[in-house]
Amino acid sequence: MHTVLITGCSSGYGLATARHFHAQGWQVIATMRSPRADLFADAPGIRVLPLDVTDADSIARALEDAGPIDVLVNNAGIGLLGAFEAMSMSTVREIFDTNTFGTMAMCQAIIPRFRERGAGALVNVTSSTALASFPLVAAYTASKTAIEGFTGSLALELADFGVRAKLVEPGYCPDTRFSENGAERMQGLVCEPYAPFAAKVFAGFSQLTEVTQPDDVAETVFLAANDVSGRLRFAAGADAVALEK
């Protein structure tokens, strides 16, 4: 039986992905900063471990407790929406600490294990903001686009060791906690000069008919984790797929 470790499983994509892998008969290690086993009451057998991807000691403990795994899904992330002009660089660095450096740290920690076994898959969840330009997400886009280039290079340098690296690019999902998780950081980021423009942007998002659902991402992550074709990028959700064309 295969084993997957997934980061950021307390809600949204991570929660749906953990449940999907479990439904496919995989052993699942669901990680989050504050463990909540009750989230998987309907999926007994999923192991829940504490993990903060910005803390090296936390990463080491989680991987030690997890034991051998076949797939690592880097899903943990922080949203940030607002005018870049209004953002402090400390806020930008905080976003990069989780979205970029946290993903890199997880990969660096697990790669030696995969390389020594001659097998394994890294699935890094980014965003459709890497497929097209969107307003009011400049720092967030930068943090995710960095992982796009990072993963492309990893795919090349790890291939000879039998280790696969993949990207999953979800579209816009109004049902995740993207805004809620970043709420404190986003206060004041849509400052007065940008308010009229931001209102138009938000109105546009509210009228979208094709959006991404957590299950779309879960199914795409599973597809990417099992892909052996050499394909790197997997758009998730109808709106993300449309951007690929």
Residues known to be catalytic: 140
Q: How confident is the model at residue 189, as a pLDDT?
A: 56
- Inform me whether the pLDDT recorded for 54 exceeds 90: yes
- In angstroms, rounded to a whole number, what is the distance separating the alpha carbons of residues 27 and 18? 9
Q: Give the predicted TM-score (pTM) of the model.
A: 0.92
**31-to-9, 74, 126, 243 alpha-carbon distances in Å:** 6, 10, 18, 31
Alpha-carbon span 240 to 242, nearest angstrom = 5
pLDDT tens digits, one per residue of 130-170:
999 999 999 999 999 999 999 999 999 999 999 999 999 99
Q: Choose from 110-119, 167-176, 202-211 the range with maximum mean pLDDT.
A: 110-119
Question: Among 18-32, 174-188, 223-237, which stretch is predicted with the lowest mean pLDDT?
Answer: 174-188
Cα Rg for the chain, rounded, in angstroms?
A: 18
Domains by residue range for the chain, with CATH: 3-244 (3.40.50.720)
Contacts of 195 (CB under 8 A, 6+ apart): none
pLDDT, tens digit, 9 for 90 and up, residues 160-187: 999 999 999 999 887 655 545 544 544 4
